[in-house]
Amino acid sequence: MPRVTYHLPDGGSRTVEAAPGESVMMAAVGNAVPGILGACGGGLASAACHVFVPEPWRALAGAPQSMEDHMRDMTVTERGPGGRLCRQIAMTEAPEGPQVQIAAEQA
């Protein structure tokens, strides 16, 4: 099964399995990854699933759509390169990736 890795603010990381099509947010919530609250269930109403996607994982994660991009102004962190609401990142068939960074302000 594909894996997604969450880099935590304390320098640690968590890697979990997620089915193709499952969101990176739901995989985090289902595996109790700290810092991904999923407060609105991924309805683009809370911005509580904000992550940063480092290169070279951005191509795999894709680009934000307009509503997601707007909601990125509502996060507790500053905008930055690779910022995404991870409910909007769907797992692919790729066995590795994406990897995402959880900001300290989010944890």
- Residue 47 touching ligand FES (CB under 6 A): yes
**Residue type, position 86, single letter:** C
Question: Residue 44 or 60: which CB sits closer to ligand FES?
Answer: 44
In angstroms, the CA 95 to CA 81 distance is 24
Encoded one letter per residue, x for contact with ligand FES by CB under 6 A and - for no contact, window 19-38 reads ------x------------x
Rounded Cα distance, 60 and 16, in Å: 17
Q: Which of 24, 26, 33, 46 binds ligand FES (CB under 6 A)?
A: 46
Asked if 49 is part of the footprint of ligand FES (rule: CB under 6 A), the reply reads: yes
> Dihedrals φ, ψ of 30, to 5°?
-65, -20
